[in-house]
Amino acid sequence: MRIVVQRVLSSSVEVNNRQVGKINQGLTLLVGFHQDDTIDKLDKMVRKIVNLRIFDDSNHIMNKSVLDIDGSILSVSQFSLYADTKKGNRPSYKQAMKSEDAVKLYDEFNKRLKEYIEVETGIFGSDMKLNIENDGPITIILEE
């Protein structure tokens, strides 16, 4: 499981020129699943994300989590996080989980996140347009 975490002032996602998810301050997650990922990894990753201290405290030190600031999460599936470009210029996606399995993990991941925080999502497998107002910019890659 590979997740790109971006601290944002706002973020939204559109499908077919219709906004399907929008948050103000919080985190935008680009979520990819490896072919060997299992549901066992979800809880650990969810806890890591909601407790990740990347928001400033009153001393301008990154010491607060998205929970501490009453933020939200925009979660967007992104199989291309497992692109392999070692051979040639056309990426291979053989390491990415097949979509019929990945959608189940993605839905369960978001369900578990919602136990802690407000979560908006894109639409799995859709051509999505993502608007991100990155704050910092702060971008972190998590891998499990």
Would you state the pLDDT for residue 144?
Answer: 86
Nearest 10 degrees: Cα torsion 75, 53, 37, 86: 90
0.85 cut: is pTM over it?
yes
**Residue in 15, 3, 126 with CA at minimum distance from that of residue 73:** 3
Average pLDDT over residues 49-60: 97
Amino acid (1-letter code) at residue 135: D
> Cα-flanking dihedrals φ and ψ of residue 55, to 5°?
-110, 145
| CATH code, domain with 6 | 3.50.80.10
Percent of the chain with pLDDT over 70: 100
In Å, how far from its chain's centre is CA 28?
5
The boundaries of the domain holding residue 134 are 2-143
Give the number of domains in the chain: 1
Question: Rounded to whole angstroms, how far apart are CA atoms 27 and 95?
Answer: 26
